[in-house]
Structure 1
Amino acid sequence: MSKPKSKPKSKPKTVAVIGCGIGRNHIAEGYARLRDQFDLQVICDLSQERLTAVGDEFSVPRRTTSFDEVLAMGDIDIVDICTPPTLHFPQVMAALAAGKQVVCEKPLVGSLHEIDQLTAAETRARGRIMPVFQYRFGNGLQKARRIIELGLAGKPYLATVETAWLRGAKYYSVPWRGRFETELGGALLTHAIHSHDILTWLMGDVASAFARTATRVNTIEVEDCAVASLVMESGALASLVATLGSAREISRLRLCFEHVTFESSLAPYAPGDDPWQIIATSPEAEARIAKALEGFTFVPSRFEGLMAAYHQALESNGPLPVTLEDARRSLELITALYHAAETGTAVALPIGKEHPKYGGWRPGATPA
Structure 2
Amino acid sequence: MSDPVRVAVVGAGAIARTCHLPALRSMAGAVEIVALCDVDLAAACRLADEWNIPRDYVGIDQLLAEESPDLVIVSTPPSAHREPVTAALDAGAWVWCEKPPALSLAEYDDIALHERAGGPYVSYVFQHRFGSAARRLRELIAAGTLGSPLVALCNTLWYRPHGYFEVPWRGRWDTEGGGPTMGHGIHQIDLMLSLLGDWTEVTAVAATLDRRTDTEDVSFAIVRFESGAIASVTNSLLSPRETSSLRFDFTHATVEVEHLYGYNNANWRWTPSASADPVAAAAWQPTEDVASSHTAQLRQLLDSYRRGERPEASGADGRRVLEFVAGLYQSAFEGRPVRRSELDSSNPFYRSMAGGSPAEFTDLLKLTKGEAHVQH
* In 2, Cα distance between equivalents of 1:102 and 1:365: 32
1:352 aligned residue? 344
For residues 149-192 of structure 1, give each alpha carbon's deviation from its aligned partner in whole angstroms, at most 9, with x where no partner exists: 22212111111111111112332221111111111110100000
Q: Secondary structure at the match of 2:76?
A: coil
Which of 254, 262, 273 lines up with 1:261 in the alignment?
A: 254
**Percentage identity across paired residues of the two chains:** 32
Alignment of 1:80-91 (within 5 A): 80-91=73-84
- Determine if the alignment matches structure 1 residue 67 to structure 2 residue 44: no
1: CA distance, partners of 2:346 / 2:171 = 29
Contact kept? 1:195, 1:251, Cα under 8 Å: yes
- The structure-2 alpha-carbon separation of the partners of 1:27 and 1:306, relative to structure 1 and needing over 3 Å to count, comes to same
Q: Take 1:89 and 1:285, find their aligned partners in 2: how far apart are those partners?
A: 50
Correspondence for 1:151 among 129, 134, 144: 144
| Deviation at residue 244 of structure 1 after TM alignment | 0.5
| Equivalence for 1:3 | none
* CA RMSD in angstroms, aligned pairs only: 2.0
Name which of 311, 315, 337 aligns with 2:306.
315
Which segment drifts farther, 46-55 or 81-90? 46-55
Code of the aligned partner of 1:263: E
Partner AA of 2:2 in structure 1? S
Deviations 1:195-243 (A, max 9, x none): 0001111111111001111112311111111111111111111111111
**2:293: which partner in 1?**
302
Whether 2:3 is the aligned partner of 1:20: answer no
**Residue in 2 that maps onto 1:6:** none
> Once the 2 structures are TM-superposed, how far is the Cα of residue 11 of structure 1 from its aligned partner?
1.3
- The answer to whether structure 1 residue 117 and structure 2 residue 115 are counterparts is no
Q: Within the alignment, does 1:175 sit opposite 2:168 as a pair?
A: yes
Please give the per-residue CA displacement for 1:310-344, whole angstroms capped at 9, x wherever unaligned.
Answer: 11111122341322212210111011011011100
Mapping for residues 338-349 of structure 1, pairs under 5 Å: 338-349=329-340
- The match for 2:364 is none
Match of 1:227 among 220, 234, 251: 220
Q: Work out the CA distance in 1 between the residues paired with 2:305 and 2:274.
A: 41
What is the aligned partner in structure 1 of residue 366 from structure 2? none
> Do the aligned partners of 2:330 and 2:355 also contact (CA within 8 Å) in 1?
no
Supply the distance in 2 between the matched residues of 1:217 and 1:159 (Cα, whole angstroms). Answer: 28
**Equivalent residue number for residue 336 of structure 1:** 327
Q: Separation in 2 of the partners of 1:97 and 1:70? A: 13
After superposition, residues 182-201 of structure 1 pair within 5 angstroms as 182-201=175-194
Q: What SS does the corresponding residue of 1:239 show, helix, strand or coil? A: strand
For 1:41, the equivalent position in structure 2 comes to 34
In structure 1, the gaps of 5 or more residues are: 1-8
Query: How far apart are 1:48 and its partner, in Å?
Result: 3.9
Question: Helix, strand or coil: the match of 1:180?
Answer: coil
Residue 363 of structure 2 corresponds to none
2:83 maps to a residue whose letter is P
Aligned to 1:361: 353
Equivalent residue letter for 1:186: G
Does residue 140 (structure 1) correspond to residue 114 (structure 2)? The answer is no
Larger deviation, residues 281-290 vs 211-220: 281-290
Where 2:234 maps in the other structure, the secondary structure is strand
Name the CA distance, whole Å, in 1 between partners of 2:230 and 2:54: 51
DSSP 3-state at the match of 2:7: strand
How far apart are 1:147 and its partner, in Å?
Answer: 1.9
Question: Partner residue of 1:214?
Answer: 207
Deviation of 1:283 (Å): 6.3
1:179/1:185 contact within 8 Å kept: yes
Instruction: Give the Cα separation in 2 of the matches to 1:97 and 1:239.
Output: 40
Partner of 2:240: 247
In structure 1, the residue matched to 2:361 is none
C-alpha displacement of 1:45: 1.4
CA 1:293–1:247 in 2, change beyond 3 Å: closer, same or farther?
A: closer
Conserved in 2, the CA contact under 8 Å of 1:141 and 1:264? no
> Equivalent residue for 2:371?
none
* Secondary structure of the structure 1 residue equivalent to 2:327: helix
Give the whole-Å Cα distance in 2 for the aligned partners of 1:353 and 1:73.
38
* Matched position secondary structure for 1:171: helix
Q: Is the 8 A contact 1:136 1:272 kept in 2?
A: no
Residues 152 and 285, structure 1, Cα contact 8 Å, conserved in 2: no
Q: CA deviation at 1:49?
A: 4.4
SS of 1:269's equivalent?
coil
Q: Quickly say closer, same or farther: Cα 1:29–1:273, change in 2 above 3 A.
A: farther
Asked whether the equivalents of residues 141 and 276 of structure 1 are also in contact (C-alpha less than 8 Å), the reply is no
Aligned length: 356
CA–CA separation in structure 2 for the residues paired with 1:199 and 1:124: 28
Deviating more after overlay: 221-230 vs 84-93: 84-93
User: Kindly tell me: are residues 149 and 169 of structure 1, through their superposed partners in 2, closer, same or farther at Cα, counting changes over 3 Å?
Assistant: same
User: Does the 8 Å contact 1:229/1:239 carry over to 2?
Assistant: yes
| CA distance in 2: counterparts of 1:217 and 1:346, whole angstroms | 26
Given residue 279 of structure 2, which amino acid in structure 1 is its aligned partner? Answer: A
Give the deviation of 1:271 after TM superposition. 4.2
Distance across 2 between alignment mates of 1:115 and 1:124: 17
